Amino acid sequence: MSYKVAFLIGSESDRKIAESSLPYFNYFNLHLDLLVMSAHRNPHEVSEFASNARKEGYSILICGAGMAAHLGGAVKANTTLPVIGVPLPGGMMDGLDSLLSTVQMPKGVPVATMSVGKSGAINAAIFCAEVLSLNNDELAMKLDEFKKNGATISA
């Protein structure tokens, strides 16, 4: 069984960081759709996507955004699916602003927050595999293999 995950990024300039997670999604056999949508530039599109994500077969939504980093919260406001926030560098102190914006969600609107940048994008992929492995023994075994390999993917 392959699971479907969406990775939303606030702008095309964020693509390189998001794409650093692709080898991990491939390793865990998770289907990834990488989409550019901004909470500020196209909020209606973000709302519509998030509202329909479960019907469209998505299991988890990842949101990568910098600076004000409202994408994770805007998505979570419109879905009951798990949302993972990946703060991106570029603003104050190279990502501190986006980290604080992503992690400081109001009660009732949880967004699991990873570290800033490339490591956060990669950890989001691994976290997706861990969550989805709760109901998938094959994925759980793949995670065991990953851990035995020092938390690295084999070539």
The whole-number pLDDT of residue 154 equals 67
Pairing of strands 58-66, 30-36: unpaired
The 3-state DSSP composition of the chain as helix, strand, coil percent (nearest 5) reads 45, 20, 35
Q: Classify domain 3-148 by CATH architecture.
A: 3-Layer(aba) Sandwich (3.40)
37-86 confidence digits (pLDDT tens): 999 999 999 999 999 999 999 999 999 999 988 999 999 999 999 999 99
Judged on CB neighbours under 10 Å (0-12, 13-18, 19+), 100 is middle
Q: Is the pLDDT of residue 1 over 80?
A: no
What amino acid is encoded at 39 in this protein?
A
Joined together, the tokens standing for residue 55 give 């019907």
User: Which tops the pLDDT comparison, 2 or 129?
Assistant: 129
How far apart CA 155 and CA 153 sit, in angstroms, is 6
User: Which of 75, 76, 85 shows the shortest CA–CA distance to 109?
Assistant: 76
* 8 A C-beta contact, residue 63 and residue 71: yes
Task: Kindly state the percentage of the chain with pLDDT values over 90.
Answer: 93
Average per-residue pLDDT for the chain: 95
End-to-end CA distance of the chain: 22
The dihedral over CA atoms of 99, 69, 8, 90, expressed in degrees to the nearest 10, equals -70
